[in-house]
């Protein structure tokens, strides 16, 4: 099942990493994913395996103990992992975003403190922008960090924190008016605080509570939580980059690479749905022949495979653009938008190919059917991607007349 989603031009190291990850996914993830997902059970053994493979440090520079790999390598690994179980890719995604933000924006002391332990998976990252009243409109956040001597005191409620319980380092976006007079644009008065905490639920450090897991329709196994700050005291040296007022840009930078990542997840889930569909279509007989021999089903398979190929190509293009040092917000937005929409459609078609059995929890496609919608929301909804794409197009194609 390797004909689709090939990537030209990979070097030997990339090929070896990918083949190791694919092997791990086939042997250690796919056979247990659906059972664990139905039980909403955290995949502890899989996570330990990922640590051993070095995946938590894949993009962390070698000087901090990581593998120093490119965004492309990372995205291709995520694609493989999501093919096995999307929730597992969610476990490394927020970690990757926080490590990326530290690498790009952290002070030297912050990099030295966190990156080596993040590369080993000992410190695990999560990021928190969304609040109960907002997700898309990040500039409207109300959580606040107020300076008090050598510390900041944080108050506010956050929502939808992926890995909220299992992480030990959360990058939290707050409004911080200190040094920014009344009337400062909202996105210039935000700060990312690096909040260290114990993994678990309840009051995990004074002033910080992680209530229990949110019960979700899919994307199970990985914990998604609220985060409540009530007088949480954070030392000034845990302001990301050491200067307040830069949080919005830091988070947007992180989310931009996260978008390539979500696109890669869409590609992986769509590939798995295609594999399940094409396999079932050759086993199930109706009217005296395998349903794959009915043209209507062949057309479905043709459309599914074309979408898998197109999404993969756009995702690879977006990752390569970032790796080359160029701005990639347009490509990342397009890749995320297309891959998540196509993923939903390919999963839907594979579900239909399964007939009534697709509705049974015994069949893997039932899980994929509940997982695909999350990709339409995370790291910015389809509407938000289209806003980004539209704005960038008008910049590029400014009317000269």
Ligand X SMILES: Cc1cc2nc3c(=O)[nH]c(=O)nc-3n(C[C@H](O)[C@H](O)[C@H](O)COP(=O)(O)OP(=O)(O)OC[C@H]3O[C@@H](n4cnc5c(N)ncnc54)[C@H](O)[C@@H]3O)c2cc1C
Look at the chain and count its residues. Answer: 401
Catalytic residue among 326, 379, 395, 396: 379
- Min dist. Cβ of residue 256 to ligand X (A): 14
In the complex with ligand X, the residue whose CB is nearer, 60 or 376, is: 376
DSSP 57: G
- Binding flag, residue 134, ligand X (CB under 6 A): yes
Binding range to ligand X, per CB under 6 A, among 56-64, 235-243, 312-320, 370-378: 370-378
In the complex with ligand X, the residue whose CB is nearer, 54 or 164, is: 164
- Binding flag, residue 247, ligand X (CB under 6 A): no
- Binding flag, residue 162, ligand X (CB under 6 A): yes
Our answer to whether residue 379 is catalytic in this structure is yes
In the complex with ligand X, the residue whose CB is nearer, 213 or 233, is: 213
- Min dist. Cβ of residue 216 to ligand X (A): 6
Q: Dihedrals φ, ψ of 173, to 5°? A: -90, 125
- Binding flag, residue 369, ligand X (CB under 6 A): no
Query: Taking CB positions, which residue lies at the least distance from ligand X?
Result: 135
Among 89, 130, 250, 385, binds ligand X (CB under 6 A): 130
- Min dist. Cβ of residue 362 to ligand X (A): 25
DSSP 25: I
Site for ligand X in 90-119 (CB under 6 A): 94
Beta-sheet strands, E only, within 6-73: none
Q: Are 69 and 58 in contact (CB under 8 A)?
A: yes
Q: Are 66 and 17 in contact (CB under 8 A)?
A: no
Tokens of 328: 């990639």
Among 273, 374, 388, 389, binds ligand X (CB under 6 A): 374
Q: Residue 101: helix, strand or coil by DSSP? A: helix
Site for ligand X in 55-84 (CB under 6 A): none
Residue among 207, 233, 32, 224 nearest 147 (CA): 233
* Residue 129 to residue 36: CA distance in whole angstroms: 28
Question: 8-11, long-range: CB within 8 Å, 24+ apart, which pairs?
Answer: 10/76
Among 56, 74, 85, 219, binds ligand X (CB under 6 A): 219
- Binding flag, residue 208, ligand X (CB under 6 A): no
197 C-beta neighbours (distance < 10 Å), count: 19
Residue among 115, 60, 126 nearest 90 (CA): 126
Tokens of 384: 């938000």
In the complex with ligand X, the residue whose CB is nearer, 269 or 304, is: 269
Sign of the Cα torsion 121, 123, 124, 126 reads negative
Among 147, 310, 381, 392, binds ligand X (CB under 6 A): 381
- Min dist. Cβ of residue 217 to ligand X (A): 9
In the complex with ligand X, the residue whose CB is nearer, 160 or 248, is: 160
Across the strands, what pairs with 162?
224
Binding range to ligand X, per CB under 6 A, among 127-135, 186-194, 238-246, 256-264: 127-135
227 C-beta neighbours (distance < 10 Å), count: 27
Q: What is the DSSP string of 40-56?
A: T---HHHHHHHHHHTGG
In the complex with ligand X, the residue whose CB is nearer, 316 or 374, is: 374
Interacting residue ranges for ligand X, rule: CB under 6 A: 94, 127-130, 134-137, 160-162, 216, 219, 224, 374, 377-378, 380-381, 383-384
Please give the positions annotated as active site: 379
């Amino acid at each position: 099942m390797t004909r689709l989603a090939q990537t030209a031009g990979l070097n030997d190291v990339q090929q070896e990493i990918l083949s190791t990850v694919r092997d791990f996914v086939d042997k250690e993830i796919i056979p247990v994913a659906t059972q664990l997902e139905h039980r909403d059970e955290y995949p502890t053994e899989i996570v330990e395996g990922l640590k051993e493979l070095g995946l938590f440090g894949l993009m962390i520079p070698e000087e901090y103990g990581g593998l120093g790999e490119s965004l492309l390598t990372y995205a291709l690994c995520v694609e493989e992992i999501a093919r096995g179980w999307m929730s597992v890719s969610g476990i490394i995604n927020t970690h990757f975003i926080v490590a990326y933000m530290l690498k790009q924006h952290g002070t030297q002391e912050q990099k030295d403190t966190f990156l080596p332990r993040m590369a080993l998976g000992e410190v695990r990252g999560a990021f928190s922008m969304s609040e109960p009243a907002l997700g898309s409109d990040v500039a409207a956040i109300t959580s606040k960090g107020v300076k008090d001597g050598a510390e900041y005191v944080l108050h506010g409620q956050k929502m939808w924190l992926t890995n909220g319980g299992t992480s030990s380092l959360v990058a939290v976006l707050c409004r911080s008016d200190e040094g920014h007079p009344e009337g400062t644009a909202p996105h210039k008065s935000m700060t990312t605080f690096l909040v260290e905490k114990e993994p678990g639920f309840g009051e995990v450090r004074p002033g910080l509570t992680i209530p229990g897991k949110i019960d979700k329709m899919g994307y199970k196994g990985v914990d998604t939580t609220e985060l409540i700050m009530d007088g949480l005291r954070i030392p000034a040296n845990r302001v990301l980059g050491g200067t307040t007022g830069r949080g919005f840009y830091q988070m947007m930078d992180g989310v931009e690479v996260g978008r390539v990542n979500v696109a890669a997840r869409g590609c992986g889930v769509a590939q798995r749905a295609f594999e399940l569909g094409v396999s079932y279509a050759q086993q199930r007989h109706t009217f005296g022949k395998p349903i794959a021999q009915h043209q209507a089903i062949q057309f479905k398979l043709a459309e599914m495979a074309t979408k898998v190929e197109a999404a993969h190509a756009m995702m690879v293009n977006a990752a390569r653009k970032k790796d080359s040092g160029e701005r990639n917000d347009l490509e990342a937005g397009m890749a995320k938008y297309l891959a998540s929409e196509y993923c939903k459609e390919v999963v839907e078609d594979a579900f239909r190919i399964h007939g009534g059995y697709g509705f049974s929890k015994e069949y893997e496609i039932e899980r994929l059917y509940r997982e695909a919608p999350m990709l339409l929301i995370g790291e910015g909804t389809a509407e938000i991607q289209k806003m980004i794409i539209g704005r960038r197009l008008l910049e590029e194609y400014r009317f000269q007349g």
